[in-house]
Amino acid sequence: MSGGDAKKLVRSPSGLRMVPEHRAARSPFGLDEPPWVPDKECPRCMQCDTKFDFITRKHHCRRCGKCFCDKCCSKKVPLPRMCFVDPVRQCAECALVSQKETEFYDKQLKVLMNGATFFVTLGTSDKSELMVCRLSSNQRYLVLDGDSHYEIEIIQISTVQILTEGFTPGGGNTRAIGMILQYKVPGSEEVTQMKFTAGEDFNCNKKLSASWLAAMHKVSK
């Protein structure tokens, strides 16, 4: 692990978190811990309105920071966007969101980091280059390697357009065959465009490329 990607274990009121040592190395998909609603401001459960007492204790959702009774905040769910080491207590609404995000972290990000091969065309050029495209391990850059090398910062990407084929007026399945990406180069307001096309030769696995494009589409959302 390089120095810039080093992580440290920290303890917060919500639990243990494994976070980057340097804030600048944080994943663009990360979330800050929310401030907790002060105990004195929540005499009742903010979901079911049950009054708190010695028997009915209050609990804070680690994702939204609101105050709930045990019944309304009983689920412990992984929360990778806040870098928690273990599953943490969340209200029912937040738990559903976190469960969907965990699937995204477990599946889509891994697909992107494993990479896929595309023909890449820069700007209005009529020449394309075969490149391996992948998400960096710290999730901050889209890395393209071929004869050339590019690193595109995820937060600088403004548009992701997935190109598909196979649609018919009467319905039918489509498959992703490419992508148009627009991004800003740091220090410039100029927008650069790249076109990614899944290759047809034996070196390019179509299924892998389609899965990578689908994951990239979910990232853009």
Same-domain pairing of 102 and 194: no
* Residue 69 domain-assigned (yes or no): yes
- The pTM for the full model equals 0.75
Mean pLDDT value across residues 28-57 = 93
CATH number reported for the structural domain that contains residue 132 in this entry: 2.30.29.160
Co-location of 88 and 11 in the same domain: yes
pLDDT in tens, 123-182: 888 899 999 999 998 889 999 999 999 999 998 999 999 888 875 555 556 778 899 999
Residue 32 sits in the same domain as residue 74 = yes
Task: Mark whether 100 and 121 lie in a shared domain.
Answer: no
CB atoms inside a 10 Å sphere around CB 62: 26
Task: Give the pLDDT band of residue 201 (cuts 50, 70, 90).
Answer: low
Identify the domain containing residue 53 by its residue range. Answer: 7-111
**Whether residue 124 sits in one domain with residue 216:** yes
Mean predicted lDDT score pLDDT of the chain: 87
- Is residue 32 situated within a structural domain? yes
* Residue 2 in domain: no
Q: What is the pLDDT of residue 2?
A: 41
Number of Cα atoms under 13 Å in the Cβ half of residue 94: 26
Residue 44's CATH number: 3.30.40.10
Do residues 26 and 48 share a domain? yes
pLDDT, position 3? 43
